[in-house]
Structure 1
Amino acid sequence: MTTLDRPSEPRPDTRDLTARRFERMRPFGGESAPRFETRGLPPGPRWPVWAQSVALLRFRHHFVPRMWRRYGDVFTVRIVPGGRPLVLFTRPEHAKEIFAGDPEVFHAGKGNAILGPIMGEHSLLLQDSSEHKRARALLMPAFNGHALRGYRGLVDEVAREEVGRWHSGDEFRSLDRMNALTLEVILRVVFGVTDENRLVELRPCVNRTVNISPAVLLGWGYPALQRFGPWKKTVANAYRLDELIYAEIRERRTAVDLDQRTDVLSRLILAGDDGDRLTDEELRDQLVTLLLAGHETTATALAWALHELGRDRAQLARAREAAHTGDDDHLEAALKEAMRLHPVIPMVVRTLMQPATVGGWDLPAGATVGPSILIAHGRADNHPDPERFDPDRFLGQNPPVNTWIPFGGGVRRCIGAGFSLMEGVAVLRQILSTYDVTAIGPDRPKVRNITSVPRRGSRIRVG
């Protein structure tokens, strides 16, 4: 038996840490949002709660536009647990109100509670108020402009290695190759893992964490399910991933060259002062958050960009010229337009801790509110001819405020937005300066978990 065949012995407290996280972070238990009133809410379907929940989680690309056409710019969907109201808003002025809302009232963490067992209570996506402010301040230096410039060389290297394995005439699902590439970026640039044995162990654990169905995701709220089938396998994988991440964190803390390393994990270990540094649990939760928020989302945006460029020869020619001449602005515009046309995340949510007025509606404490990214990106009054792929929308200008919101907005705007765009541009530059790209057949979105991906994997031919 090799060292890769034989699981490494976990430290005594690793499994306890994971078990305690599962207990504390049950999406439908523990500390909950305030109780809510049901009167005076915007209109919405009267289907059973379970049916609305399934429609929103599994069939959102049909369900949400249908509700918008039926009920107008503001509508209510009732979801598990207990028929809690989710009020979706679709106009930019609504998004502005929500993003500018008092963070003591508009809590983002509770709206993302379904991710709690995976991400952990210290996750930037799940924290609110002063805890969120502290965590964001500690993480921000790892994602400022100076730090991004330092990561660019390694991202270029990873992209070059991936594209170097391709051959003229190859046909493949670009989503699969982009997932492999962005995973490698996360593991090497964010986690800073260089040991090939640990990379071999981490890759499948990470893929199993990301590739879960909506049914398995909902299963985190029902512990009884975790003794069976896919839920049991998901829990076992979570324990193993934690073992590997905690081992990496503990070894990194003792690295003699820690202060010279430039990966995100090393920067986070050194962040803050002696009296306020991130604990092992906090580091684990932030690493998993960066992994889940920055791996599949960027890969999916890249796959859609390759799909759209591969079916429009004129746009492809412009993008390839940009790749050869170093016109990163044009490549970024193509990536942003792919993100507009094919939203990866459907909405941005906040849970009201006190009654609040949004879009002229007086809403009760306990209601969850949020702009619909699906509708905002597809409205003709926000983006003329919205079904057309047109990177010029982002060249020398930006779309109207709060009409393009893949990274959210306000004080909760995604901390990794700059990293994602930098990575995406580097990958497109490497691909398009090396190969022509042709899309093979049409594609459309399907729901994977909380994200939407190309149903056919965005198949392309390179030549």
Structure 2
Amino acid sequence: MDEITALTQERFRRMRPFGGHRPPPVDTSQLPPGPRWPAFAQSAGLLRFRHRFVPWAHRTYGDVFTIRVIPRGRPLVVFTRPEHAREIFAGDPEVFHAGKGNAILGPIMGEHSLLLLDGAGHKRARKLLMPAFSGQALRGYEDLVTGVAKTEVGSWQRDVPFRSLDRMNALTLEVILRVVFGVTDEERLRQLRPLVNRTVDVSPAVLLGWGWPALQRVGVWKRTVETAYALDRLIYAEIAERRRAPDLADRTDVLSQLIRVDDGGDRLTDPELRDQLVTLLLAGHETTATALAWALYEVGRDPRQRERARTAARTGDEAWLEAVVKESMRLHPVIPMVVRTLVRPATLAGMDLPAGVTVATSILIAHSRPDNHPDPEVFRPERFLGQSPPANTWIPFGGGVRRCIGASFSLMEAVAVLREVFTAYDVTAAGHDEPKVRNITSVPRRGARILVSA
């Protein structure tokens, strides 16, 4: 067995979600009410039918409710008010652990992932990664993003409906591979693209399969494992070659910057680099692509929005284009909730909660509450023009010390892409669309079909 295969196997062993040890029992007698269905049915509702299940639970049980999920009916207490979100985001990171709440992503992202670390480990990793996402670094990336966007948009066929989600996925993947990974070799790009797409495009059932190793020998679960091995091999090869690159000191891509990080002798190891790259790849690729697809679809449904967007692109009105992106993220949340697991008892919204409970603030409900956003079903970018929504009512990037490190990069990238699209084309939506669940994210069911013309 070679070294890379061994590293991948060890990650699968260490990061098996809800496996290995049996967590201590949780006293659920004083938790808020919720559905009394079997845990498997509630898990399916949360993972597969969240756009109906979560609003139904909110209407039925109120602003705080409990969902019981596999394994063993573990309680998930969902909070929906902005003051609840504030308490969760401000919670002591030594008590409110995000990593445990994201454990289902562990086999893919790895134990060093910023999404799975807690406490001092998370603080250290964030400190080492932050320079690569500073304002100065973002300004250096914008020209590269614009170049990738210009090439993609220039290839579109006019007056023929197509799935904008597919094109946005291809575009944002290219940005990640070239700007974050810094890959320029066409052969390696050709190998990486399908592996990344197969890693992202999985159902919730495949994610759950990581908890039962026997499943990994058959069907889609076996193919997912094979993809993980192949992707690791390419990523580790890229890291090794980059460390030896004679121009490493001059390169501006994120990987090269992370390799150069040296905080008093504290540097990122190859496994740490691999885990952070995969995290950036999966967290920053599909989420931005989905927000962009929804933005094109929503603008394309309204002639007034189309004209305003084209004018903004032509005149350099980036504030309006950013407002379009933010409103797309509000109306169509890509991630449904932000979760934390309590490692010690805590009081939240006046309730005493025991250790072992996972708490969540619902992005779906926060973004759709009329008291947070009047006429929440209406696409209205001016909500974000010259003002910010009330605190903790717009939370696509989470909040507190765990706020997404790539938030500014995502917005910069999205604005650059919309600028290129609306400079080149008039965009019209082609048919109706609605969200569906793919892995832990929500995407347009029909791909947000659009038609472009001069």
TM range (shorter): over 0.9
Whether 1:55 aligns to 2:54 is no
Shift of 1:351: 0.1
Aligned residue number for residue 425 of structure 1: 415
The gaps in structure 2 that reach 5 residues or longer are: none
The answer for the alignment partner of 2:143 in structure 1 is: 153
Q: Report what 1:380 is aligned to.
A: 370
Report the Cα distance in structure 2 between the residues aligned to 1:459 and 1:407, rounded to whole angstroms: 26
| Separation (CA, whole Å) in 2 of partners of 1:424 and 1:71 | 37
1:443 aligns with 2:433: yes
Q: State the TM-score, normalizing by the size of structure 2.
A: 0.99
Question: Which among 380, 388, 392 is matched to residue 382 of structure 2?
Answer: 392
Contact 2:235–2:274 (8 Å) recurs in 1: yes
TM-score, normalisation: structure 1? 0.97
Q: 2:284 aligns with which of 276, 294, 298?
A: 294
Counterparts of 1:402 and 1:274, CA distance in 2? 36
Residue deviations 1:73-124 (CA, integer Å, cap 9, x gap): 0000000111110000000000000000000000000000000000000000
Q: Distance in 1 between matches of 2:358 and 2:110?
A: 21
Number of corresponding residues: 453
Q: From 86, 91, 101, give the equivalent of 2:76.
A: 86
Change in 2 beyond 3 A, CA 1:397/1:176: same
Q: 1:170 deviation in Å? A: 2.7
> Cα gap change, 1:201/1:81 in structure 2, threshold over 3 Å: closer, same or farther?
same
The SS at the match of 2:7 is helix
- After superposition, the Cα gap between the structure-2 partners of 1:64 and 1:80, relative to the gap in structure 1 and judged at 3 Å, is same
Give me the whole-angstrom Cα distance separating, in 2, the residues matched to 1:374 and 1:51.
20
Matched, 1:113 2:106: no
Match of 1:342 in 2: 332
Asked if structure 1 preserves the Cα contact closer than 8 Å seen for 2:128 and 2:263, the reply is no
- SS of 1:437's equivalent? strand
Task: Give 2:266's aligned residue.
Answer: 276
1:143 to 101, 110, 133: 133
Report deviation, 1:70.
0.1
In 1, are the aligned partners of 2:85 and 2:361 still within 8 Å (CA)? yes
1:225 maps to which of 199, 215, 223? 215
Distance 1:174 1:222 in 2: 35
Where 2:182 maps in the other structure, the secondary structure is coil
Alpha-carbon contact 2:177-2:189 (below 8 Å) kept:
yes
**Partner SS for 1:460:** strand
Report the counterpart of residue 23 of structure 1 in structure 2.
13
Shift of 1:134: 0.2
What is residue 77 of structure 1 aligned with on the other side?
A: 67
The reply on whether 1:97 has 2:90 as its aligned counterpart is no
The 3 A distance-change label for structure 1 pair 350 and 31 is farther
The answer for the alignment partner of 1:8 in structure 2 is none
Alignment of 1:191 with 2:181, yes or no, is yes
What residue identity is the alignment partner of 2:193? R
* Structure 1 position 316, deviation (Å): 1.3
- The answer (yes or no) to whether the contact 2:204–2:438 under 8 Å persists in 1 is yes
Task: Indicate the larger mover: 372-381 or 265-274.
Answer: 265-274
Does residue 457 of structure 1 match 2:447? yes
CA-based RMSD: 1.0
Q: CA deviation at 1:30?
A: 3.7
Within 5 Å, give how 1:238-249 maps onto structure 2. Answer: 238-249=228-239
Matched residue type, 1:433 = T
Give the Å deviation of 1:29: 1.7
The aligned amino acid for 1:413 is: R
Match of 1:366 among 349, 356, 361: 356
Q: Deviations over 1:373-415 (max 9, x none)?
A: 0000000000000000000000000000000000000000000
Q: Does 1:262 align with 2:252?
A: yes
Per-residue deviation, 1:32: 6.8
Secondary structure, counterpart of 2:66 in structure 1:
strand
Tell me the residue number matched to 1:3. none
Residue 58 of structure 2 contacts residue 65 of structure 2 at CA under 8 Å; is this kept in 1?
yes
Q: 1:271 to 1:146 in 2, by over 3 A?
A: same
Displacement of 1:12 after TM fit? 2.2
CA gap of 1:128–1:33, structure 2 versus 1, over 3 A, is farther
Q: What is the alpha-carbon distance in structure 2 between the residues aligned to residue 182 and residue 424 of structure 1?
A: 9
Tell me the amino acid that sits aligned with residue 227 of structure 2. N
Give the direction of change, closer, same or farther, for the CA distance of 1:31–1:253 in structure 2 (3 Å limit).
farther
- SS of the residue corresponding to residue 295 of structure 1 reads helix
Q: Which residue of 2 aligns with 1:324?
A: 314
CA distance in 2, matches of 1:412, 1:33: 24
Separation in 2 of the partners of 1:208 and 1:238? 9
Q: Deviations over 1:188-244 (max 9, x none)?
A: 000000000000000000000000011111101110000000000000010000000
Supply the distance in 1 between the matched residues of 2:263 and 2:360 (Cα, whole angstroms): 36
- Maintained 8 Å contact 2:78/2:359: yes
Q: Quick one: which amino acid aligns to residue 103 of structure 2?
A: A
Letter in 2 for 1:213: S
